[in-house]
Chains A and B, each alone.
Chain A
Protein backbone atom coordinates (compact mmCIF):
# COMPACT_ATOMS: atom_id res chain seq x y z
CA UNK A 1 0.00 0.00 0.00
CA UNK A 2 1.32 3.42 -0.94
CA UNK A 3 1.87 5.54 2.14
CA UNK A 4 3.36 8.90 3.12
CA UNK A 5 4.32 9.85 6.68
CA UNK A 6 5.46 13.30 7.69
CA UNK A 7 7.23 14.26 10.88
CA UNK A 8 7.09 16.08 13.11
CA UNK A 9 3.39 16.96 13.11
CA UNK A 10 4.23 20.41 14.46
CA UNK A 11 7.47 22.36 14.77
CA UNK A 12 8.15 25.65 16.50
CA UNK A 13 11.34 27.48 15.63
CA UNK A 14 12.80 30.76 16.63
CA UNK A 15 13.62 33.07 13.77
CA UNK A 16 17.01 32.08 12.37
CA UNK A 17 16.94 28.57 13.86
CA UNK A 18 17.46 26.13 11.00
CA UNK A 19 15.77 22.73 10.95
CA UNK A 20 14.43 19.95 8.74
CA UNK A 21 11.06 18.39 8.03
CA UNK A 22 10.84 14.74 7.13
CA UNK A 23 8.68 12.88 4.63
CA UNK A 24 9.06 9.11 4.51
CA UNK A 25 7.25 7.10 1.88
CA UNK A 26 6.50 3.58 0.80
CA UNK A 27 5.52 3.29 -2.83
CA UNK A 28 6.16 0.62 -5.41
CA UNK A 29 8.28 2.64 -7.80
CA UNK A 30 8.49 6.36 -7.20
CA UNK A 31 7.65 8.56 -10.17
CA UNK A 32 7.77 11.86 -8.30
CA UNK A 33 7.76 13.42 -4.83
CA UNK A 34 6.23 16.84 -4.35
CA UNK A 35 6.39 19.48 -1.63
CA UNK A 36 3.67 22.06 -1.08
CA UNK A 37 3.15 24.94 1.29
CA UNK A 38 -0.32 25.65 2.66
CA UNK A 39 -1.31 28.81 4.48
CA UNK A 40 -4.40 28.81 6.74
CA UNK A 41 -7.63 28.98 4.74
CA UNK A 42 -5.87 28.65 1.39
CA UNK A 43 -5.12 25.96 -1.15
CA UNK A 44 -1.70 24.30 -1.23
CA UNK A 45 1.00 26.06 -3.21
CA UNK A 46 3.50 24.02 -5.20
CA UNK A 47 7.14 24.23 -4.06
CA UNK A 48 9.27 21.41 -5.50
CA UNK A 49 9.28 18.21 -7.50
CA UNK A 50 11.95 15.55 -6.93
CA UNK A 51 12.31 12.52 -9.16
CA UNK A 52 15.32 10.46 -8.14
CA UNK A 53 17.49 9.71 -5.12
CA UNK A 54 20.22 12.29 -4.68
CA UNK A 55 18.27 15.07 -6.31
CA UNK A 56 18.10 18.46 -4.57
CA UNK A 57 16.04 21.57 -5.27
CA UNK A 58 16.34 25.00 -3.66
CA UNK A 59 14.17 28.04 -3.35
CA UNK A 60 15.13 30.93 -1.11
CA UNK A 61 15.50 29.48 2.42
CA UNK A 62 14.12 26.07 1.45
CA UNK A 63 16.01 23.07 0.14
CA UNK A 64 14.40 19.72 -0.64
CA UNK A 65 16.39 16.50 -0.87
CA UNK A 66 15.43 12.95 -1.78
CA UNK A 67 16.69 9.50 -0.82
CA UNK A 68 15.24 6.11 -1.72
CA UNK A 69 12.95 6.10 1.30
CA UNK A 70 12.49 9.69 2.42
CA UNK A 71 12.69 13.35 1.60
CA UNK A 72 13.77 16.26 3.73
CA UNK A 73 12.74 19.87 3.53
CA UNK A 74 15.55 21.91 5.06
CA UNK A 75 14.71 25.40 6.24
CA UNK A 76 17.73 27.66 6.70
CA UNK A 77 17.46 30.72 8.92
CA UNK A 78 13.63 30.76 8.83
CA UNK A 79 11.58 33.91 9.11
CA UNK A 80 8.08 34.33 10.56
CA UNK A 81 6.67 34.45 7.01
CA UNK A 82 7.81 30.84 6.55
CA UNK A 83 5.13 29.80 9.05
CA UNK A 84 2.74 27.45 7.25
CA UNK A 85 1.84 23.80 6.90
CA UNK A 86 4.20 21.91 4.60
CA UNK A 87 2.76 18.98 2.70
CA UNK A 88 4.52 16.12 0.99
CA UNK A 89 2.95 13.97 -1.75
CA UNK A 90 4.12 11.03 -3.85
CA UNK A 91 3.19 9.64 -7.23
CA UNK A 92 3.73 5.97 -8.02
CA UNK A 93 5.23 4.84 -11.30
CA UNK A 94 2.34 2.63 -12.29
CA UNK A 95 0.60 3.23 -15.58
CA UNK A 96 -2.87 2.54 -14.20
CA UNK A 97 -2.53 5.04 -11.34
CA UNK A 98 -0.38 7.83 -12.76
CA UNK A 99 -3.12 10.26 -11.84
CA UNK A 100 -3.05 9.36 -8.15
CA UNK A 101 -1.29 11.52 -5.61
CA UNK A 102 -0.82 10.39 -2.01
CA UNK A 103 -0.41 13.14 0.55
CA UNK A 104 1.06 13.06 4.02
CA UNK A 105 -0.74 14.81 6.88
CA UNK A 106 1.66 17.71 6.88
CA UNK A 107 4.00 19.49 9.27
CA UNK A 108 2.72 22.69 10.81
CA UNK A 109 5.66 25.07 11.11
CA UNK A 110 5.57 28.13 13.34
CA UNK A 111 8.48 30.56 13.30
CA UNK A 112 8.43 33.14 16.06
CA UNK A 113 10.45 36.36 16.14
Chain B
Protein backbone atom coordinates (compact mmCIF):
# COMPACT_ATOMS: atom_id res chain seq x y z
CA UNK B 1 0.00 0.00 0.00
CA UNK B 2 1.30 3.43 -1.02
CA UNK B 3 1.78 5.52 2.08
CA UNK B 4 3.62 8.24 3.92
CA UNK B 5 4.29 7.46 7.57
CA UNK B 6 5.18 9.87 10.34
CA UNK B 7 6.40 9.22 13.85
CA UNK B 8 5.53 10.07 16.47
CA UNK B 9 1.87 10.92 15.90
CA UNK B 10 1.64 12.88 19.13
CA UNK B 11 4.41 14.52 21.10
CA UNK B 12 4.46 16.75 24.16
CA UNK B 13 7.84 18.19 25.00
CA UNK B 14 9.48 21.09 26.81
CA UNK B 15 11.17 24.18 25.50
CA UNK B 16 14.70 23.58 24.31
CA UNK B 17 14.67 19.78 24.21
CA UNK B 18 15.80 18.65 20.76
CA UNK B 19 13.41 16.42 18.88
CA UNK B 20 13.09 14.70 15.52
CA UNK B 21 9.92 13.83 13.65
CA UNK B 22 10.50 11.08 11.13
CA UNK B 23 8.85 10.81 7.73
CA UNK B 24 9.11 7.87 5.37
CA UNK B 25 7.48 7.05 2.02
CA UNK B 26 7.35 3.75 0.15
CA UNK B 27 6.57 5.06 -3.35
CA UNK B 28 10.10 5.91 -4.53
CA UNK B 29 9.07 9.56 -4.76
CA UNK B 30 11.75 12.12 -5.51
CA UNK B 31 9.95 15.06 -3.89
CA UNK B 32 9.18 15.39 -0.18
CA UNK B 33 8.02 18.31 1.90
CA UNK B 34 7.10 19.37 5.43
CA UNK B 35 4.16 21.59 6.34
CA UNK B 36 2.72 22.96 9.51
CA UNK B 37 -0.98 23.65 9.95
CA UNK B 38 -2.28 26.18 12.42
CA UNK B 39 -5.87 27.35 13.00
CA UNK B 40 -6.64 30.39 10.88
CA UNK B 41 -3.32 30.19 9.01
CA UNK B 42 -3.76 27.08 6.92
CA UNK B 43 -0.96 24.91 5.63
CA UNK B 44 2.45 26.54 5.42
CA UNK B 45 5.47 24.95 3.84
CA UNK B 46 8.54 24.58 6.06
CA UNK B 47 11.12 22.81 3.89
CA UNK B 48 11.08 20.70 0.79
CA UNK B 49 13.44 18.35 -1.00
CA UNK B 50 13.53 17.79 -4.74
CA UNK B 51 15.83 14.78 -4.40
CA UNK B 52 18.47 13.17 -2.21
CA UNK B 53 20.85 15.74 -0.72
CA UNK B 54 18.77 18.60 -2.21
CA UNK B 55 16.71 20.66 0.24
CA UNK B 56 15.29 24.16 0.17
CA UNK B 57 13.37 26.55 2.39
CA UNK B 58 9.64 27.06 2.28
CA UNK B 59 7.64 29.86 3.88
CA UNK B 60 8.49 29.24 7.53
CA UNK B 61 11.90 27.51 7.89
CA UNK B 62 13.10 29.33 11.02
CA UNK B 63 13.73 26.98 13.92
CA UNK B 64 13.67 23.84 11.79
CA UNK B 65 16.24 21.65 10.06
CA UNK B 66 15.87 18.84 7.57
CA UNK B 67 18.08 16.31 5.86
CA UNK B 68 17.59 13.98 2.90
CA UNK B 69 20.27 11.34 3.01
CA UNK B 70 18.15 8.68 1.36
CA UNK B 71 15.19 8.84 -0.95
CA UNK B 72 12.56 7.38 1.33
CA UNK B 73 13.23 9.41 4.48
CA UNK B 74 12.93 13.11 5.25
CA UNK B 75 13.19 13.84 8.98
CA UNK B 76 12.24 17.18 10.51
CA UNK B 77 14.52 18.35 13.33
CA UNK B 78 13.70 20.94 15.95
CA UNK B 79 16.99 21.61 17.71
CA UNK B 80 15.58 23.95 20.37
CA UNK B 81 11.78 23.83 20.25
CA UNK B 82 9.78 26.81 21.45
CA UNK B 83 6.07 27.14 22.29
CA UNK B 84 5.38 28.90 18.98
CA UNK B 85 6.28 25.65 17.23
CA UNK B 86 3.26 23.97 18.79
CA UNK B 87 1.36 22.86 15.71
CA UNK B 88 0.13 20.01 13.54
CA UNK B 89 2.86 18.86 11.17
CA UNK B 90 2.41 17.04 7.88
CA UNK B 91 4.94 15.36 5.67
CA UNK B 92 4.13 14.89 1.99
CA UNK B 93 5.66 13.25 -1.05
CA UNK B 94 5.10 13.20 -4.80
CA UNK B 95 6.77 11.73 -7.84
CA UNK B 96 8.13 15.12 -8.85
CA UNK B 97 7.27 18.78 -8.88
CA UNK B 98 4.23 18.23 -11.03
CA UNK B 99 2.58 17.47 -7.66
CA UNK B 100 0.16 15.14 -9.34
CA UNK B 101 -1.03 12.73 -6.68
CA UNK B 102 0.84 14.29 -3.79
CA UNK B 103 0.43 12.06 -0.75
CA UNK B 104 0.29 13.40 2.79
CA UNK B 105 1.14 11.61 5.99
CA UNK B 106 -1.31 11.31 8.89
CA UNK B 107 0.18 14.24 10.81
CA UNK B 108 2.16 14.77 14.00
CA UNK B 109 0.60 16.88 16.71
CA UNK B 110 3.37 18.62 18.61
CA UNK B 111 2.94 20.55 21.84
CA UNK B 112 5.88 22.50 23.27
CA UNK B 113 5.42 23.71 26.84
Contacts and interface: CB of A to CB of B under 8 A. Distances in A.
A76 to B, nearest CB: 24
Given A41-B107, A105-B40, A100 B48 contact: yes
26 contacts: A32-B99, A41-B107, A42-B107, A43-B92, A43-B104, A46-B102, A46-B103, A49-B99, A49-B100, A87-B43, A89-B43, A91-B97, A91-B99, A98-B50, A98-B97, A99-B31, A99-B33, A99-B49, A99-B97, A100-B48, A101-B33, A101-B45, A103-B43, A103-B45, A105-B40, A105-B42
A101 B59 CA distance: 9
Contacts, number: 59
Contacts of B49: 99
Assign chain B's interface to a size class. 20 to 34
Interface of A: 32, 34, 41-46, 49, 87, 89, 91, 98-106
Contact of A100 (B58, B90, B107): B58
